[in-house]
Amino acid sequence: MARAGVGAMTLRRLQLFMAFAFTVMADPVSSVAYAIESTLRGLKGDLATLFPTMAAVIAVIAIVSATYDHLIQRFPSGGGGPQGVAAAFGEDWAFIPLGALLVDFTLTVAVSCSAGASALIAYAPGLEPVRILLALTLVVLVAGVVLLGQSGRVAFAIATQLFILLAAAVIGSALLGDPDRAGASHAATAPLVSDAALVPLALAIPLGMALATGVEAPSNAIAQLAQLDDATRRTFGRWTLWLMVGIVGALTVGFAAAAVRLRTGLPPEDSTLLAEVARGSIGDGRAFAAFQAMSALLLLSAAASSYLAGSGVLRALATLGANGQGLVPHAFGRINRFLVPEWGVSLVLVAAAILVAAGGSEQRLVPFYAVAVFASFLAATVGCARLSWREGRWGRLALNLLGALLVAMVLAVNATRVDGVVALLASAAVAAYLWQVWVSRGRPTGVAEAGAR
């Protein structure tokens, strides 16, 4: 009887972990749908450089993830980058990652819904003339679903798992099948690894770093596992983080290798790189339709997660302080009968309409997208480095400093682009506004926990 009870408890724990992990990783897994194409565009369609560039991107993500692994170990109740920065330098500095994350959540909704529209258009090209309207409709539709409650999280987890399975089938067929059956456009297959030019590679890496958005999610999301003890939350957070890095890394290098083998160059306006790879791999039939449908559903799941995250942070900021005076209007602290902060969702919806300026194209938004979150990464890695120095953990210190150096290099490259500067200024403006209000209201405590709350 006791053994059966332990078995049932273990099964429930496993089910909880699967639901948690695959919901949290919806954002980074979905970014595979547009980050590889964005990188190839940055490389001017040079397939010979695509694979080493994406491999370099995954290596950078793994190094940055090591810092977030340290944050999970230090703060098992959640908090992520803001908590680490506050512990290292004081709560004043927590506004840097908070401002960056708020901009990132909004852009995630815009990019994901635009990419979802692109996935549908790739299957039904006749929708191309209404791209903007379709993307805006998806933004509103996802917001409506989110306002009905959080029961959809299980659906998010299932969508992520199904996409991973279908993506593995596409990659496997592309790498093991005959590339000529797809009518490849070049006479010879490009080499998987070539003598890549350093400068184009370095300039394209920041575009591929759209894959890194969501790296901080496990360190914040473990706060939702209040029913578990600290040790189990650490385990859930760390396993989720590294499972996410492994899956995103495998899908990324797999699709990059498939694109090279099938000689899939830049797609036409009414398609996407992943859609063209899928067509060349599994044909244009029902399997292709299923892949495109699951791609769109996963992207919308990522948008839903960001609606919840962004509105949740706004709610935490609205109720900050002992007297609940907050840093943003009290309306953002209200929740509807489904326990969702409706005003926060509405604000994110309005801000996500920025996709109109980009013509509903996720590829025009990606150069803005991955920049803001790297300000958060830089703050987190530097904060962790200081904590590691204080504690005399020299191995961790080396990893934190290496992560900070790589993130700083990515930000420096982004600073050479107008869109990168605009994104950084937007996150800095949000951070500065929140900091100014915080100071004017007597520096209430709890800023560092806003992401976790």
> Average pLDDT for residues 149-177, to the nearest whole number?
84
> Average pLDDT for residues 132-138, to the nearest whole number?
97
Q: What is the pLDDT of residue 411?
A: 86
Stronger pLDDT, 203 or 15, i.e. the higher one: 15
Q: How far is CA 222 from CA 153, 232, 326, 453, in A?
A: 15, 10, 24, 10
Q: What is the pLDDT of residue 149?
A: 73
d(CA 304, CA 153): 9
Lowest mean pLDDT, pick from 180-194, 241-255, 296-310: 180-194
Q: What is the pLDDT of residue 187?
A: 40
> Average pLDDT for residues 309-325, to the nearest whole number?
84
Question: Is pLDDT above 60 for 2?
Answer: no
Banded pLDDT at 420 (limits 50, 70, 90): confident
Banded pLDDT at 369 (limits 50, 70, 90): confident
Lowest mean pLDDT, pick from 52-56, 157-161, 184-188: 184-188
Q: What is the pLDDT of residue 172?
A: 95
- Average pLDDT score, the chain: 88
Stronger pLDDT, 15 or 134, i.e. the higher one: 134
Domain range annotation of the chain: 19-449
Residue-wise pLDDT for 211-264, tens only, equals 888 888 899 889 888 888 999 999 999 999 999 999 999 999 999 999 999 999
Banded pLDDT at 274 (limits 50, 70, 90): very high
Going by C-beta distance under 8 Å and a sequence separation of 6 or more, which residues neighbour residue 47? Answer: 40, 190, 259, 260, 263, 264, 265
Among residues of the chain, what percentage have pLDDT more than 90? 59
Note the Cα 360 to chain centre separation in Å: 19
Q: What is the pLDDT of residue 184?
A: 47
Q: How far is CA 411 from CA 126, 203, 344, in A?
A: 39, 11, 29
Stronger pLDDT, 89 or 191, i.e. the higher one: 89
Residue in this structure with the two tokens 């899939």, named with its chain if needed: 264
Q: How far is CA 379 from CA 11, 54, 155, 263, 326, in A?
A: 38, 24, 33, 40, 24
Lowest mean pLDDT, pick from 26-40, 56-70, 137-151, 270-284: 137-151
Question: Is pLDDT above 60 for 166?
Answer: yes
Among residues of the chain, what percentage have pLDDT more than 70? 90
Q: What is the pLDDT of residue 243?
A: 95
Residue-wise pLDDT for 17-44, tens only, equals 988 888 888 888 999 999 999 999 989 9
SS (H, E, C) the chain: CHHHHHHHHHHHHHHHHHHHHHHHCHHHHHCHHHHHHHHHHHCCCCHHHHHHHHHHHHHHHHHHHHHHHHHHHHCCCCCHHHHHHHHHHCHHHHHHHHHHHHHHHHHHHHHHHHHHHHHHHHHCHHHHHHHHHHHHHHHHHHHHHHHCCCCCHHHHHHHHHHHHHHHHHHHHHHHHCCHHHHCCCCCCCCCCCCCCCHHHHHHHHHHHHHHHCCCCHHHHHHHHCCCCCHHHHHHHHHHHHHHHHHHHHHHHHHHHHHHHHCCCCCCCCCCCHHHHHHHHHHCCCHHHHHHHHHHHHHHHHHHHHHHHHHHHHHHHHHCCCCCCCCCCCHHHHCCCCCCCCHHHHHHHHHHHHHHHCCCCCHHHHHHHHHHHHHHHHHHHHHHHHHHHHHHCCHHHHHHHHHHHHHHHHHHHHHCCCHHHHHHHHHHHHHHHHHHHHHHHCCCCCCHHHCCCC
Banded pLDDT at 188 (limits 50, 70, 90): very low
* Topology classification of domain 19-449: Amino acid/polyamine transporter I (1.20.1740)
